[in-house]
């Protein structure tokens, strides 16, 4: 009876990992495409908010790639990957803060119509990714950190649309800069949460590892 239960558990885990792998490949593709398109539009439109959002897409693509790499690995590796994801988000947050400062000094308003159009496209793509990740958001630290990235994308997309409306209304660079800074702060907050949780998981996994070796 016990062996049968173990076999059933193993089969359920394999099935879950396959479902996670399919979802992660899908959201990786969505974010990679959106990064290329949004970065190009953001550069052409001189929009800090779009460039910040596109860097978020690139960061998420790295996150999903890491998640795929550790999918079938032990808790120790999943905790390490989550820690790397947090560090990547921290770095992108600092880059966006620096770019926002430069745009504030330059002072040229971005193209509001391009911001709005790209914002709607990014929102649609990220809503699709979010819906795919929703059912796996509590599977483990790996999928939770991935879902948090997707949730942040939706918040950032909504902020870009608000910035586009404000830029069009005020003909000012400041709404764009403010949203860029807000996205950067969101990166930093999420990075802190992910790094904190990953360090806790990493400590626990390192404690568990010797016990597993001893019982082999």
Q: Which three-class secondary structure string do you get for 124-169?
A: HHHHHHHHHHHHHCCCCHHHHHHHHHHHHHHHHHHHHHHHHHHHHH
Q: What is the pLDDT of residues 43-102, one digit of tens each?
A: 898 888 888 888 878 877 877 787 677 665 666 776 777 777 778 778 878 888 888 888
The pTM assigned to this predicted structure is 0.70
Give the other-Cβ count within 10 Å of 171's Cβ: 9
The answer to whether residues 89 and 190 touch, using CB atoms and an 8 Å cutoff, is yes
Give the other-Cβ count within 10 Å of 94's Cβ: 14
Q: How far is CA 58 from CA 13, 24, 38, 113, in A?
A: 29, 14, 10, 23
Instruction: State in words which class domain 20-214 has.
Output: mainly alpha
Distance CA 177, CA 162 (A): 12
Q: Average pLDDT of the chain?
A: 80
């Amino acid at each position: 009876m016990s062996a049968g239960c173990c076999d059933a558990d193993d089969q359920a885990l394999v099935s879950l990992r396959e479902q996670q792998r399919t979802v992660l490949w899908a959201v990786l593709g969505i974010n990679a495409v959106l990064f290329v398109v949004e970065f190009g539009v953001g550069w052409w439109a001189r929009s800090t908010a779009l460039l910040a959002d596109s860097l978020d897409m690139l960061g998420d693509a790295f996150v999903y790639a890491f998640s795929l790499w550790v999918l079938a690995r032990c808790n120790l590796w999943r905790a390490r990957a989550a820690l790397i994801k947090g560090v990547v988000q921290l770095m992108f947050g600092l880059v966006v803060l620096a770019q926002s400062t430069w745009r504030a000094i330059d002072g040229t308003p971005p193209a509001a119509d391009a911001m709005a159009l790209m914002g709607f496209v990014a929102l649609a793509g990220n809503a699709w990714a979010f819906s795919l990740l929703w059912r796996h958001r509590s599977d483990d630290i790996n999928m939770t950190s991935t879902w948090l990235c997707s949730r942040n994308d939706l918040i950032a997309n909504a902020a870009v649309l608000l910035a586009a409306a404000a830029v069009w209304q005020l003909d000012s660079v400041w709404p764009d800069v403010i949203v860029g800074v807000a996205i950067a702060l969101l990166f930093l907050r999420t990075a802190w949460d992910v790094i904190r949780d990953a360090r806790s998981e990493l400590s626990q996994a390192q404690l568990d590892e010797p016990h597993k070796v001893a019982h082999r």
